[in-house]
């Protein structure tokens, strides 16, 4: 049995943070009903690198986040659509939305109204800055949050700073935070019989990820250092040149540093006062680095990775994204499942990456075409064929 078998989710989210949260619920077996506007649905349907798919309203951005879900179209500005939504609320466990604060309230579908219909509902609202506060009503995309959170300020080095992460870090972390909170609230509801409102802000979500960097500043009074690919907690720990490219080495323990020195044949550095102790070695990392690289450039990355790992020193190649996606370990872990999308072909999508001993959490059905399940869901609610046709004619669905 799937972990969330029998759980129904009403998903009113768009683009990334919300769909990423509900994707996790869908992979764990929840029935996720994606409620979209009848004209063109989730904006992500038009986002991606293949124009043909965007025109099909099945852009790569949409495909990445919406497996195992159903699509129902409702124009929630119309009273008939609101009635349908309220009927669905009665049989649902979770609502997730990522509109700006107060949008659902203005529609008459805010948490205070919803809980009158279903007191057990877990209602999660995801926004850039949260439901309240001086910035609550400001618009926000991932890059805006990366800048306001301090993430861009701590990335890069003196030649390249500020620097954003190369993927939508804040959106995805916000989605993970929401999924975690929803599962916690669902567990609480099973024990108490009461649902609750969850307020998730992208800004709040990403800042704890900088825990060590933030702690150094808030507790230790040390400003973040612009170290590029260097690890501020240890040395030698970072990216180093080899004969055919680069290698990541993380000699974070003293015994690992000793192993590096022995393998590279520079044991004299172990007694060098600039490198002997951990904290002094960190301060002198840029003096140590060329001495290590002088040895590393004598052989290839694959060679050094093998011998260092064998000695207990974490190290590895720096793969292209394509090589990383096709790495043997990723294949072994069954990180992807393949599904067929009509008009596109077979595509690979991420499974849930946590592995459960008694449950599966995998991609089983392709992302839905816009409004694919509208008739099915409305029929379940007792709405007959002629009424459905009339709703469609009026643009309500």
Q: Which pLDDT belongs to residue 262?
A: 97
Which of these three, 277, 293, 319, is where a domain ends?
Answer: 319
| Euclidean distance between CA atoms 189 and 92, whole angstroms | 13
| Euclidean distance between CA atoms 248 and 239, whole angstroms | 4
- Nearest of 142, 67, 61, 127 to residue 97 by alpha carbon: 127
Residues 6+ apart with CB under 8 A from 313: 249, 250, 251, 256, 259, 260, 263
224 within a domain of the structure (yes/no)? no
| Euclidean distance between CA atoms 338 and 342, whole angstroms | 13
Query: For residues 280 and 287, is the Cβ–Cβ distance under 8 A?
Result: no
| Euclidean distance between CA atoms 39 and 363, whole angstroms | 27
Domain of residue 20 covers: 8-208+332-393
50 within a domain of the structure (yes/no)? yes
Which of these three, 291, 319, 347, is where a domain ends?
Answer: 319
Which tokens hold the place of 128? 């850039």
Q: Which pLDDT belongs to residue 236?
A: 97
Bridging pattern class, strands 246-250 and 237-241: antiparallel
Query: For residues 10 and 368, is the Cβ–Cβ distance under 8 A?
Result: no
Check which CATH number belongs to the domain holding 299 and give it. 3.30.1540.10
Examine the domain organization and report whether 198 and 341 are in the same domain. yes
Examine the domain organization and report whether 172 and 272 are in the same domain. no
**Catalytic residue numbers?**
171
Query: For residues 256 and 312, is the Cβ–Cβ distance under 8 A?
Result: yes
Q: Which pLDDT belongs to residue 193?
A: 95
Examine the domain organization and report whether 201 and 296 are in the same domain. no
Examine the domain organization and report whether 136 and 49 are in the same domain. yes
Task: Name the DSSP letter for residue 6.
Answer: T
Radius of gyration of the chain (CA): 25
131 within a domain of the structure (yes/no)? yes
Examine the domain organization and report whether 294 and 196 are in the same domain. no
- Nearest of 304, 393, 350 to residue 67 by alpha carbon: 350
Q: Which pLDDT belongs to residue 375?
A: 97
- Nearest of 254, 247, 285, 294 to residue 270 by alpha carbon: 254
Q: What is the largest CA-CA distance in the chain?
A: 86
3 within a domain of the structure (yes/no)? no
Place of tokens 């926004």: 127
Residue 98 three-state SS: coil
Which of these three, 319, 348, 376, is where a domain ends?
Answer: 319
Examine the domain organization and report whether 299 and 354 are in the same domain. no
Q: What is the pLDDT along the chain (397 residues), one digit of tens a residue?
A: 899 999 999 999 999 999 999 999 999 999 999 999 999 999 999 999 999 999 999 999 999 999 999 999 999 999 999 999 999 999 999 999 999 999 999 999 999 999 999 999 999 999 999 999 999 999 999 999 999 999 999 999 999 999 999 999 999 999 999 999 999 999 999 999 999 999 999 999 999 999 999 999 999 999 999 999 999 999 999 999 999 999 999 999 999 999 999 999 999 999 999 999 999 999 999 999 999 999 999 999 999 999 999 999 999 999 999 999 999 999 999 999 999 999 999 999 999 999 999 998 999 999 999 999 999 999 999 999 999 999 999 999 9
Examine the domain organization and report whether 290 and 173 are in the same domain. no
| Euclidean distance between CA atoms 372 and 52, whole angstroms | 19
Give tens-digit pLDDT for 121-151.
999 999 999 999 999 999 999 999 999 999 9
Examine the domain organization and report whether 118 and 199 are in the same domain. yes
- Nearest of 182, 194, 189 to residue 11 by alpha carbon: 182
Beta bridge partners of 97: 125
2 within a domain of the structure (yes/no)? no
C-alpha torsion sign, points 201, 205, 208, 213: negative
DSSP letter for each residue of 307-367 = HHHHTT--EEE---HHHHHT-HHHHHTT-EEEEEETTTEEEEEEPPSS--SS------SPP
Phi, psi of 228 (to 5 degrees): 60, -120
Q: Which pLDDT belongs to residue 387?
A: 96
Q: Which pLDDT belongs to residue 1?
A: 82
| Euclidean distance between CA atoms 218 and 228, whole angstroms | 22
117 within a domain of the structure (yes/no)? yes
Which tokens hold the place of 299? 């052989």
Examine the domain organization and report whether 204 and 246 are in the same domain. no
Q: Which pLDDT belongs to residue 28?
A: 97
Domain count, the chain: 2
């Amino acid at each position: 049995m799937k972990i969330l078998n029998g759980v129904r989710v009403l998903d009113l989210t768009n683009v990334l943070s919300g769909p990423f949260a509900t994707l996790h619920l869908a992979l764990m077996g929840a029935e996720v009903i994606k409620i979209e506007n009848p004209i063109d649905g989730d904006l992500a349907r038009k986002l991606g690198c293949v124009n043909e798919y965007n025109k099909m309203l099945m852009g790569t951005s949409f495909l990445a986040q919406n497996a195992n879900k159903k699509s129902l179209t409702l124009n929630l500005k119309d009273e008939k659509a609101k009635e349908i939504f309220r009927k669905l609320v009665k049989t649902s466990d979770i609502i997730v939305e990522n509109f700006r604060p107060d949008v659902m309230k203005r529609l008459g579908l805010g948490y205070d109204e919803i809980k009158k219909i279903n007191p057990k509902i877990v209602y999660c609202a995801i926004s850039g800055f949260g439901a309240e506060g001086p910035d609550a009503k400001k618009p926000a995309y991932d890059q805006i949050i990366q800048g306001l959170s301090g993430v861009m300020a701590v990335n890069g080095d003196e030649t390249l700073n500020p620097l954003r992460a190369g993927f939508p870090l804040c959106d995805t972390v916000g989605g993970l935070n929401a999924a975690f909170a929803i599962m916690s609230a669902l567990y609480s509801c099973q024990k108490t019989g009461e649902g609750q409102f969850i307020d998730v802000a992208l800004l709040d979500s990403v800042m704890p990820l900088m825990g060590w960097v933030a702690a150094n500043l808030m507790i230790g009074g040390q400003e973040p250092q612009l170290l590029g690919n260097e690890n501020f907690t240890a040395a030698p720990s970072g990216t180093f040149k080899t004969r055919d490219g680069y290698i990541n080495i993380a000699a974070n323990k003293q015994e690992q540093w000793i192993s590096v020195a022995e393998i590279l044949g520079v044991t004299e550095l172990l007694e060098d006062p600039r490198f002997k102790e951990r904290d002094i070695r960190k301060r002198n990392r840029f003096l140590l680095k060329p001495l290590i690289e002088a040895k590393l450039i004598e052989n290839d990355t694959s060679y050094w990775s093998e011998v260092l790992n064998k000695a207990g020193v974490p190290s590895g190649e720096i793969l292209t994204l394509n090589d990383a996606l096709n790495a043997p370990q990723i294949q072994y872990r069954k990180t992807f499942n393949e599904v067929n999308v009509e008009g596109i072909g077979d595509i690979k999508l991420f499974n849930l990456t946590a592995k459960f001993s008694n449950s599966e959490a995998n991609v089983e059905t392709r992302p839905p075409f816009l409004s694919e399940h509208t008739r099915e869901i409305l029929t379940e609610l007792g709405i007959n064929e002629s009424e459905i046709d009339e709703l469609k004619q009026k643009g309500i669905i």
